[in-house]
Structure 1
Amino acid sequence: MDGHSIRNRAAEKLIPPIPKSKPMKASTSTHDAELSLPALAFQGHRFLRPNQDRRAYLALDLKTPRLNDIHQHLWLAGLPSAARPLHRQKLIGRSILITEDPDEHMVWFETHIFIKPLPDFLFDWDCWNDNLCSDHELHKSAYGLLLSYAWLVQHKSDLDIAKEASLLPEHLEWPDWVRFLEAFLDNVNLHTLSDVNKRYHYGELRLSRLNTIYRLAPPTYSVTNFIRGYRAGSTWYNAFFERHFKWMLAVFAILSVFLSALQVGLATPKLQENGSFQRASYGFTIASVVAVMAGVALVFIVWLGLFGYYLLSTWWNDRAVAYKRHRRETSGEAGLEGVTAHK
C-alpha cells in the first residue's frame, strides 16, 4: 500500500459524524474554512500570512513545541489524567481566560485557567484531508486538542459555558457535539493515547511549576528562560516589589515576634541571670538585623539586575530587528518581516 493510500485511510478515520453533503451547523466548507483564517499572525519577530502559508500557520496554531521540550518534567506540573470539565473549573473558582497559544492551553495559575478556543477548521473534513492528514505531528497535535475538548465539554452545562466563553461556536447544538465526539473518539486509543501529541498525556498544568521547570531544566536552560520562565508575568517594577516584599514582610513579622519574646524574657529576673539565654538573645538579635539588611539588599540587587537585563535585551532586540528589516529591504526580498506589511 503506497503513502497516498495510507493518508486516505487516516483521513477516513476523521470524517465528521455527518455526511459531507450535510455538514453539521458548526462545520464550514473548505472555502469558508480558509476565509476564517486570520489575515496576520506573529511567529516570534516574523509576520505570518496564514492564507498564504497555511501549513506554517496550522503548526503555529496547533503544535506545542515548548511543552514537548520539557515533557519528561511535566509530571512536576500536572497529573497524567484528563482535565476537569468546564463546570468543575467554575466550581473550584477558576475563571476562563482565552489564549490562542496552544502551549498555554489548559495551563492554570491561582484562580485562572487558559483555554484555547477550538478552531473552526477542525470541524471540516476537507481541511483534515487536505492539510492535517499529510503531516504526522500536525495530525497528532490536532487529535490532542480535540481530545482536550472531549475532557472539557462532557456535559450540556459545559457546552453552555464553552459557548458563553467563545470557546465553541454559538450555533453548535448538544446532539451535534455528542455525535462529533463519538466519531472522533472511535479513532482514538484512549488506553495508550498513542494517537495524540505527548503534551496531551497530561491534563491541567500549573504555571508556577512550569516557570520553575523552564528556568532550571537542562533542555531549556538559558539566561532568558531563567529570568522570564515559561510565561512571563507582569514586568511592572511595582508588581516586582509587591511580589517580593510580601514574603519579606512575613519573615520580618516572624522575627519581630521572636525578638519581642526575647525582650520579655530578658525583663524577667531569672532569664537576666541566665548566660546562655543572653548569648542566644544577642546572637539572634544580630542575625535578625543582618537578615533584614541582606533581604533588602538582595531585592535591590535583583531589581538592578533585571533592569539592566531588560534594558540591554530591548536595545539588542531593536538593533537585530532593524538590521533584518534593512537587509530584506536592500536585498529586495518580499519576506515576512514587519517591513513588508508597510510596503
Structure 2
Amino acid sequence: MASDLTKAPQPCQVLDPGKATLTPPFPEDVQLVSAAPILPVLVRSNGDSNRTHSAHIRYIDPMHNPFVFVEHELSVRRLDLVASHMWIAGIPRNIRPLHRQLSLRRTIMITERIDLHLLWGRGEIHLKPIPSFLLNHASFCELVSNGTNIQSSYLTASAIDFLHSYCKLIVYESDLAIAQSHKLLPKGVDYAQWTAFARCITKAAQSNKSAPRWVFGELRLSRINFLYRFLPSMSGRYLLRGYTWDVNHYSTFLQANFRWVLTMFLFLSVVLNAFQVALATDLGRDTQGFPEVAWRFSVFCQLVIAALIVVVLFALTIAMVVNALTAWRRRHPTHI
C-alpha cells in the first residue's frame, strides 16, 4: 500500500494514449492494496439468473479461469436487460452515504453478487464488498484491463462504475468506519488514502461509458422483481421467481408474494361490514335498490375470494412442481 501520499499522483486515466490497451483508473502510488490479492478456491456461478432450469450447479475455478471469474464478479447484464424501465425502481445517480443508510434504519446486508449491489427493500440494502483485485494496480491490469476487446472494455467500465459507487457511499470518515466495520473495505485504509483513491476514480468515471445499470444508483428490489416477472420482453420466464429468489420455505413464499391477498380480504371485509350495518337500519332496508346492491356485492366478494384461493394454490403447486423437477435433474452428483 502506498505510504507516501505527499508526492503528486500520476494522471488518472482509463485509456493510455500511447497504447491500445486499457489501463486502471488509478495509478500505482494510490493503490489501497499492495499485496497480490488471494482469489477464492471455488465460486458458485449465478448463471444468467436465479432460475433453476440448469440441470447442474456450476462452479468457477478462479485460478484456472480468471477471466470467467472476473466477469462473474463485475457483469451487471442481468440488470441491463431492464434498463429502459429501471426508472420505475430508482432515481439516476442516487446513492446515499453509509451513515445516511443507517439513519434510514436500513441494515447493511453483505452480498458477493454485483447484480444485487445497491438493491434495497424490507429495511435492508445489499452491498458488495470491494474485491481486493480492484484495489491493486497490477491485479487490475492483469485481470480486468487485460485486452482490447469489447468484453475487457465492458468489465473495465463496470469496475470503474462499481468503485465510483463507493465514492458516493464513503464520503466522510464516519462512512469509512462503517464500511470497514462491515468488511466492505480493508481495515488498513485510512481516510487520506481513501480520498486520494476516490479522487482518481471520480475523475475516471467522468469520462467512463457506463453500463445502463450504473446510470441508476439505489434500486428497489421489489420493483426489479416486478419488472422481471411482467415485462413482455421476459416472455414470462421469470414469472414465478422474479429477479432474485430468496425463499427457503413455502410459507415464506406465500408471505412474500401474497400479502396483497390479505390486504384485499381486509378491504372487502370492511365494505361488507358497512353493508351489514346499513341493512340493519330501517333507512337501509327501505332504500330502493340498496338491498339488491348489497346482495350483488356480497356474491362478488365470494367469487373474488374463491378466485384468490385458486390463484394461491395454483402458484404454490407450480412452485412445488418446479422445485421437484429441479431436484430430479440434479439428483446425480457431477464433478466441478
Partner of 2:141 in structure 1?
A: 129
1:40 to 33, 39, 42: 42
* CA distance 1:120–1:283, shift in 2 (3 Å): same
The answer as to whether partners of 1:85 and 1:154 remain within 8 angstroms in 2 is: yes
State the shift of 1:163 in Å: 0.2
* Structure 2 counterpart of 1:49: 61
Residue in structure 1 matched with residue 164 of structure 2 by the alignment: 147
The gaps in structure 1 that reach 5 residues or longer are 19-23, 326-337
* Secondary structure of the structure 1 residue equivalent to 2:239: helix
Q: Give the alignment's TM-score, normalised by structure 1.
A: 0.82
Higher Cα radius of gyration: 1
- Pick from 173, 178, 195: which aligns with 1:156? 173
Match 2:283 to one of 262, 270, 274:
270
Aligned to 2:219: 205
**1:200 and 1:16, CA in 2 relative to 1: closer, same or farther beyond 3 A?**
farther
Residues 288 and 218 from structure 1, CA distance in 2 versus in 1: closer, same or farther, beyond 3 angstroms?
A: closer
Distance change >3 Å, CA 245–CA 226, structure 1 → 2: closer
% identical aligned pairs: 29
2:97 counterpart of 1:101: no
Q: Does the Cα contact within 8 Å between 2:95 and 2:165 map onto a contact in 1?
A: yes
Q: 1:198 to 1:291 in 2, by over 3 A?
A: closer
1:83 corresponds to 2:95:
yes
Q: CA deviation at 1:84?
A: 0.6
Match for residue 216 of structure 1? 230
Q: Hey, what's the Cα distance between the residues in 2 that align with 1:172 and 1:132?
A: 22
Deviation of the 1:222 alpha carbon: 4.1
Counterpart in the other structure of 2:335: 339
CA distance change for structure 1 residues 145 and 244 in 2, over 3 Å: closer, same or farther? closer
Secondary structure at the aligned position of 2:325 is classed as helix
* Structure 2 CA distance for partners of 1:12 and 1:123, relative to 1, 3 Å: closer
Cα shift readout 1:234-273 (whole Å, capped 9, x = no counterpart) = 1411123334664333333332332232223223233323
Structure 2 unaligned blocks of 5 or more? 1-15, 48-56
Give the distance between the partners of 2:301 and 2:268, measured in 1 at CA: 7
Aligned equivalent of 1:231, options 227, 233, 244:
244
Runs of 4+ in 1 over 6 A off after TM superposition: none
Q: CA deviation at 1:199?
A: 1.9
Counterpart-to-counterpart distance in 2, 1:309 and 1:217: 21
Do the aligned partners of 2:26 and 2:200 also contact (CA within 8 Å) in 1?
yes
Kindly indicate whether the alpha-carbon contact (under 8 Å) linking 2:118 and 2:217 is maintained by their aligned counterparts in 1: yes
SS of the equivalent of 2:240 reads: helix
- Contact kept, 8 Å, 1:211 with 1:230, in 2: the verdict is yes
Q: How does 1:254-265 map to 2 (within 5 A)?
A: 254-265=267-278
**1:28 paired to 2:34:** yes
**Residue 7 of structure 1: CA displacement?**
4.0
RMSD over equivalenced CA pairs, Å: 2.3
